[in-house]
Structure formats: structure tokens, C-alpha cells
Amino acid sequence: MKRLIALSVALLSGSALFAAAQAPAAHPASPSPATAPAGPGKIAVIAFQVAVGQTNEFQRNFADLEKKWEPKRQELKKLSDDVDASTKELQTQGATLSDAERASRARAIDDKKKQLDRSAEDAQNDFQQELQGVYSGIATKVYDVLSTYAKENSYSLVLDVAGQQTPILYALPTTDITKTIIEAYNVKSGVPAPPPAAPTPAGTTPSAPKPAPTGPSGN
């Protein structure tokens, strides 16, 4: 049923991360005139949200968040299944019911649908708020690693290839420091890589892999 909210990685894309992604890039340190490099400097590119989303810490915290919200997801699924079953039952038995009974059941189904809609909307808002908090906290620390790396390697400019305000048409692969920053952050955080997913039993359909965060980073 379409009313059933998907409390999943889909919330990681676009609007869920847009506001949070602005935090680490809102106030980049600017070199003073006395220390600014003379002439053209080195330039690098990074997919910032991808970098944050692929850190071991973010993947661990997101997995924890999914586990925390699994009971709510099951609760919503149960309510959605109940609405579907009641609707199907009314459609099947409607012709044999009195007008009053049919109207009573229709009202009950409508009440359940409204309850499902309210619960789903509340859950979505609460989940998204928690997710933004998780992302924002890690994004700030990833930016610190990025800033340190850029200074130590004499980069005068780092562009976010995922940012809508920086439409980069071409960049050499060697200028992309996304993987480098992910690895540097993982070392600094000390969070180990998440365990590999359990093998899918024969005869079952594997779930879709979780995509990395994409969309505007707000840089």
C-alpha cells in the first residue's frame, strides 16, 4: 500500500541531506593575505555527500538508526495490511451487507487510513530529523579532515562535484580526492568497516544495495 512509508535509505537522497550538508561547507577557512599562495594553486574535486555517506562511521550509525526504527516500520506495515484486508473484505462482502453496516465499515476503514497517514507522516519527519542529525555531525568532521588535507597538500580550491551551484563539466580523475578523504576519515575515526552482508539463501531474492547519498550538498 502506497501509504506505508519506507523508512529506508531513500530518505538519504536530496532533501533529507540538503540542509545538513550545508553545515560543514558554510564557513570554509579563507587564507589571510599574508599566507595566500601566489599565482594559480592546485585544484581538487570531491563528491562531499558521497564521502560522508561512505565513511565507516556513517554506515555504522545509519545501520543503528535503521534497527532503532524497525519496530515502527513493522507497526506501520501491520496497520497498512489491516487496512488492505478490511478494504478487500468490504469489497467482497459489500453486496450482502445492509446499507448501515456497509457505511459503518467504510467509516472504520477511513479512520484507519487517516491513522496510518498521520503515523506515517510523523514517523517520516522524526526519522528524517534524526538522520539529518547523524549526517550533520559526521559531515562537520569530514569537512575538518578535508580542510586539513587540502592545506597539507597545497590545494587552494576544492570543488564539490555534487553541488548544484558548482556545475563541473570535466575533471581529471586524478583531481578527485573523494576516496582519499573517506580513507583518511576512517583512519582518524577508528571505526572499522561494517561487516559484509550475509549471503542470500538460495531461492530468495536479494535486497537492493543501499545507494550512496547523492544530490545537492549545499556547497
**pLDDT tens digit sequence for 154-194:** 999 999 998 777 778 888 999 999 999 999 999 999 999 99
Distance CA 183, CA 3 (A): 40
Do strands 42-46 and 155-160 pair parallel, antiparallel, or not at all (unpaired)? parallel
Helix, strand, coil percentages, rounded to 5, for the chain = 60, 5, 35
With a pLDDT cut of 70, the percent of the chain lying above it is 72
- Burial group, residue 38, by CB count within 10 angstroms (0-12, 13-18, 19+): exposed
pLDDT tens digits along 32-66:
333 444 445 799 999 999 999 999 999 999 999 99
Position 199 scores a pLDDT of 65
DSSP state of 155: E
* Domain 41-189 falls under CATH 3.30.910.20: yes
Distance CA 23, CA 27 (A): 8
Contacts of residue 55, Cβ cutoff 8 Å, sequence gap at least 6: 138, 142, 182, 185, 186, 189, 191
Every domain of the chain and the residues it spans:
41-189
Distance CA 137, CA 24 (A): 9
What single letter denotes the amino acid at residue 136? S
Residue 207 pLDDT exceeds 50: no
pTM recorded for the entire structure:
0.71
Residue 212 pLDDT exceeds 80: no
